[in-house]
Structure formats: structure tokens, C-alpha cells
Amino acid sequence: MANLFRIEKKRIVKLTRKEEENILKISPLFQSVSKSVYFDNYDLPCPILVEVKTKYGELKKMVLRKTRQGNVKKEVQIIKLLEEFGLPVPKILHLPFKNENGEYVAIYSLLPGENLQKLSMGSKKELNEAKRLLILAVTKLMNTTQFIRRSKLSRVLPTITLDSELKNLNTKENPWFKEERFQSAIKKLKIATKNINTPLVFSNGDYQPGNFLAKNGKISGFLDFESPSFQDPLMGFVKYPIYDLIPLSRINLIKLFLKRNNFSRKDFNIRLAIGCLKTLKKEIPVNGGNKEVQKYRKRVLNLLDKSLEII
């Protein structure tokens, strides 16, 4: 995965006029934007690291965040709640505004620490540390559930049950709808989920390791709340085997989380099978595609079959 990251020269991004103007309005000391680059991420576009020069020659760093797949305005509300709860989240330096392209943009403080994806790609010791911290971070996020539920914002957060996941999959708009393999999986999963009543938890919708920061052995930041919801506690982990998020996907991360929260491998495989079906619907054509697409389709289908075997 390391070779998928890009050098800074390849990550330079030009801010719009409104974006620059709103950044400079944050403080009377801000003089000019000296640098704006995407974070060192294998998945672009992503949040932008902005460096501002003050009239005293100092350099101040902050984060420019645009709506990608969710809602930056809702993210700002969630961040304020999580700050009240006591989690280390970014400070809101500028509330969401629309740029010239009609995109909503917010400006946040830059949190200290290294993201857990980068940490996991170091030594074996750092990989194990990333695993420990990831489980800790997800647990802390889950522990905010009742606090979030008591807030007014909870009324507009989606509630995503396993039953609703299956209903959203089994629609005629799904290109896989008429596939016998797909319908067979849906039928089996309907039976498997019939008596599951696992309490839903607050989730940022994405437990990928890049969304958690750590410093000196402690979680120093929680990121990415564009798509928050109340969700099954295991669904956030299914992307590890589906997307093969190495190196964390190749060690006992999920096994350890299951053990600590009294879940079985069968419990996880039910969610993994649902995750595979969601990925097929969203990202993979039924037929055709280049070699990479064909390889991806084959891997997800094999993962689906294996997970269904243990249900």
C-alpha cells in the first residue's frame, strides 16, 4: 500500500477565491495562503492541508474540508457534540460556506498525531499498537451512543438496521437483483438476521484506520463524520476484508474486537455477507470490466461465498 501514497508535488491543489478569502478572515493576523495540498492519502480527493503565513512570518496549519459523500454541515454539528462529550475532535475555525462550485466547505483546526493507517505500516510493534488503538477508538466512539441519542441531532441521524440494509439491497434498481447468486444470499441472510436484535451504536460510518489519529500511545483525534448514523456495531469493520485494508486486515484485529465484545465469527460473517452485497451493488458490474474489475468482482464473490458457508 505504501507505493499508493503520493509525494507532496502530486498533491498540490488550488483553492478557490472564496476558500482563500474565508481562510484569511479567520484571524486578522493571517496574511496569505502559502500552501494547500491534499493530505498524504491513497484515496483522492480528500481533505486539504492549508498553510497560512501571518504578518509576523509564522506559519499556521489548518484543514479545509469539502463535502464528498456525505454532509459537511451535519459533520460540524456532530463534531460540536463529540467535543462536548470529551472526544478529541477538530475545532471549527469557519462554519460551512458555499464556494464558487456550489460545494459546501468548512475549515477545521489541525489535530496532532499520526493516522493509524500510517502507524500500522511501520514496524511490527507499530502495527500491533495501531490495532490496539483502533479498537480503543471504535470503543470510545460507541460509548458516545446514549449521549448522541439524547441530543436533538439524533432525530435526523439515519438508523440503519440489518433488516433495512437487506431491504435496500433487494430492489429492482440493483443491477444484481436478478442474479440467482445474489437472491440466494439475500434469502439466507433474511433467515440469519431474523432474530438478531443487537443494539445499534453511533458510528461515523467508516472505521478505516485513516480516520483515527494517535500520539504518544493515545488517541489524539477522531475524523470524518460526513455520514454519521446509528448502525450495527460490526458493520463498520466489514470493509477490512472487503477492501483488504492491509496490513490491519491481515492480522487478528477483527477477531480481537469480536472477543472483547462477545460476538462470534458467525455474527461477523452475517455482516460481512451483507457488506459484500452492498459492495457488489454500489461498485461492481455484474459482467465485464477490465482485469482489475474482474479480479475485484471475483474476490468479493469468493468472500461472499465463504462468509455464507459459516452462517
For the segment 158-182, what is each residue's pLDDT rounded down to a tens digit?
Answer: 999 999 999 999 999 999 999 999 9
Rounded Cα gap, residues 31 and 18, in angstroms: 15
Does residue 47 have a pLDDT over 50? yes
pLDDT at 5: 61
- The reply to whether 290 falls in a domain is no
4: which strand partners?
none
Q: What are phi and psi of 183, to 5 degrees?
A: -65, -35
Kind and range of the H or E element at 75? helix 72-85
- The reply to whether 33 falls in a domain is yes
pLDDT at 60: 98
Would you say 240 and 250 are in contact if contact means Cβ atoms under 8 Å apart?
no
Segments forming the whole domain that contains residue 91: 2-110
pLDDT at 1: 39
- The reply to whether 214 falls in a domain is no
Binning pLDDT at 50, 70 and 90, where does residue 46 land? Answer: confident
- The reply to whether 288 falls in a domain is no
Does residue 99 have a pLDDT over 60? yes
- The reply to whether 47 falls in a domain is yes
Mean pLDDT of 192-203: 96
- The reply to whether 208 falls in a domain is no
Name the least confident of 5-9, 76-80, 210-214, 230-234: 5-9
Cis before 228? omega within 30: no
Number of domains in the chain: 1
Alpha-carbon distances, residue 246 vs 110, 130, 172, 242, 254 (angstroms): 26, 12, 34, 11, 13
Mean pLDDT of 197-224: 95
Rounded Cα gap, residues 54 and 33, in angstroms: 9
Does residue 4 have a pLDDT over 60? no
Would you say 106 and 92 are in contact if contact means Cβ atoms under 8 Å apart?
yes
Does residue 224 have a pLDDT over 70? yes
Does residue 44 have a pLDDT over 70? no
159: which strand partners?
230
Rg of the chain in Å (alpha carbons): 21
CATH number of the domain within which 31 lies: 3.30.200
- The reply to whether 70 falls in a domain is yes
Amino acid at 135: I
Burial class, 187, CB count within 10 angstroms (exposed 0-12 / middle 13-18 / buried 19+): exposed
Q: Which residue has the higher pLDDT, 227 or 128?
A: 128
From 263, 223, 178, select the one nearest 79 (Cα to Cα). 223
> Length of the chain, please?
311
Kind and range of the H or E element at 102? none
Amino acid at 64: L
- The reply to whether 209 falls in a domain is no
Binning pLDDT at 50, 70 and 90, where does residue 299 land? Answer: very high
E strand spans, 67-181: 92-98, 104-109, 114-115, 159-160
Kind and range of the H or E element at 201? strand 201-203
Would you say 261 and 138 are in contact if contact means Cβ atoms under 8 Å apart?
no
Would you say 47 and 109 are in contact if contact means Cβ atoms under 8 Å apart?
no
Q: Which three cell numbers stand for residue 284?
A: 461492481
Rounded Cα gap, residues 307 and 275, in angstroms: 10
pLDDT at 300: 98
| Mean pLDDT over each residue of the chain, to the nearest integer | 94
From 196, 207, 206, select the one nearest 164 (Cα to Cα). 196
Residues of the chain with pLDDT > 70: what percent?
97
Q: Helix, strand or coil for residue 233?
A: coil
Q: Which three cell numbers stand for residue 134?
A: 483502533
Binning pLDDT at 50, 70 and 90, where does residue 70 land? Answer: confident
| Cα–chain center distance at 205 | 6
Amino acid at 24: L
| 196-213 burial: b if 16+ Cβ within 10 Å, else e | eeeebbbbbbbbbbbbbb
For the segment 258-278, what is each residue's pLDDT rounded down to a tens digit?
Answer: 999 999 999 999 999 999 999
Binning pLDDT at 50, 70 and 90, where does residue 2 land? Answer: very low
